[in-house]
Structure 1
Amino acid sequence: MQLTITGHHVEVTPALRAYVTEKMQRLSRHFDKVVTVDVILNVEKHTQLAEATVNAGGRTLFANDNADDMYAAIDGLADKIDRQVRRLKDRLRDHHHEKPDYQAAENI
């Protein structure tokens, strides 16, 4: 998994970089086909914004979150994007794999 962290109007400190890396490692634990993760940390007035674009399994997922604290915004972002990745994995795994119920068809 390739992780890119960018800051707009905020300096990406080693602590922020380590925190984002730790949170985004959950994605590769839940779904092994995560190729790239691009995270943008932004500050607008008093709002801290965190955005992520994930390329996984041939799909592109996007999530963003804002909070008063950058760490809280990163936590919310990680939860949102993790939920999307798990949902994508479930969709890919369960796609057309149901066995037809032949007994129900015979009873009609």
Structure 2
Amino acid sequence: MNISLTGRHLELTDAIKTHMTSSIETLNKYNMGITSVNVIASAQTKKGKEHSMVEFVITMAGKNSVIIKQNDDDLYAAIDIAIERAQKALRRMHDKEVDHQKVGLNTIKSEDVDVKETAEAMEDEIVPVELDLYKPREVEDVLNDLKESNKMFEIFLDNEDKTRVLYKRNDGKFGLY
């Protein structure tokens, strides 16, 4: 991996160069085939205040380049934030490559799928259940049933023909809509 460090309107000391180089070395753990990293550090004055800007251009073999620009009052902080952003971008690219299966259109076309069998198999998965929603119930009865079961909520009609929901809250209490 080629590393190019450039300073504009500021002198790069050995400590800054060491910090940049060690930060860049952490990008190797993603195995993305990084060919070169160009770092441009500059000092700018806006509205009477000095602040630092760091730009990372990460070039990878066979992939798009990653460009990260970061401004901060402190040069070391700008470098650290930019490296974190670069790591996040490389991690996302790495996860995309590793997690997604690359299936071509020809392999999908070559698979024989019987539509009727698939539809029948899906029909077997749906089991109709008779609802007890039409029976009016007392809130206390529903509360007792909910305490005894593993359910998180119960939907029922109360004596005034209103649809109500009794649910378990995270704090161990119960809520009623």
TM-score by length of 2: 0.54
More helix by share: 1
Are residues 1:13 and 2:18 paired?
A: no
Residue 31 (structure 1) shift: 2.3
Amino acid across the alignment from 2:99 = D
SS state of the match for residue 6, structure 2?
strand
- Matching of residue 68 in structure 1 with residue 73 in structure 2: yes
Distance, in Å, in 2 between the alignment partners of 1:94 and 1:35 is 23
| Bigger radius of gyration among the two | 2
Q: Where has structure 1 moved over 6 Å in runs of 4 or more?
A: none
1:64-103 aligned within 5 A: 64-97=69-102
Structure 2, unaligned runs of 5 or more: 123-177
CA distance in 2, matches of 1:92, 1:39: 26
30-39 or 88-97: which moved more?
88-97
| Stretch moving more, 86-95 or 11-20 | 86-95
Q: CA RMSD in A?
A: 2.1
Q: TM-score, normalised by structure 1?
A: 0.86
Matched, 1:31 2:31: yes
The count of corresponding residues between Structure 1 and Structure 2 is 104
Contact 2:32 2:94 in 1 (8 A): no
Residue type at the aligned position of 1:91: K
SS at match of 1:59: coil
User: Which structure dedicates a bigger proportion of its chain to strand?
Assistant: 1
The alpha-carbon deviation at position 32 of structure 1 amounts to 4.5
